[in-house]
Amino acid sequence: MKKSYFRLSLVLVSVLVMFAGCRKNKEYDENMLLGTWSATDGYSYTFNSDHTGSSGDDDGSLPFTWDLDSDELALRFTGRGQAGKSAYLTFVIKDLSGNRMEAYDQNDPSRETIIFRR
């Protein structure tokens, strides 16, 4: 009888660990992204309704195309590169409201939050 309880306990613990590791994706309306945002990473980002945009700082800007899939905002840069930028960047949106967005770079192991403001 003790073996049965032990096995059942192992199964229950395994199931709980599996579900605890799952990240719930939030759904965001892409129309909320449209416009120009200034970010704490030192860049500004402009999102157009035709899924094009540009990112830049004082040294110039770089065009990109973008796509929003639930809470993942993917930018594909179409220019020649920019200091600190990769050719493909994915932000995970933590929160998005009218004039403020919180996100982090999916490839940044520190998961440091970047604040975007209109």
Q: Is residue 104 part of a domain?
A: yes
The per-residue pLDDT for range 64-79, each reduced to its tens digit, is: 999 999 999 999 988 6
CB 103 within 8 A of CB 91: yes
Q: Is residue 2 part of a domain?
A: no
Q: What is the pLDDT of residue 91?
A: 95
Q: Is residue 63 part of a domain?
A: yes
Q: How many CB atoms lie within 10 A of CB 108?
A: 13
Q: Residue 118 and residue 36: Cα distance in Å, rounded?
A: 6
Q: Is residue 12 part of a domain?
A: no
Q: What is the pLDDT of residue 60?
A: 84
Which segments in the chain show pLDDT lower than 70? 1-25, 79-86
Q: What is the pLDDT of residue 13?
A: 47
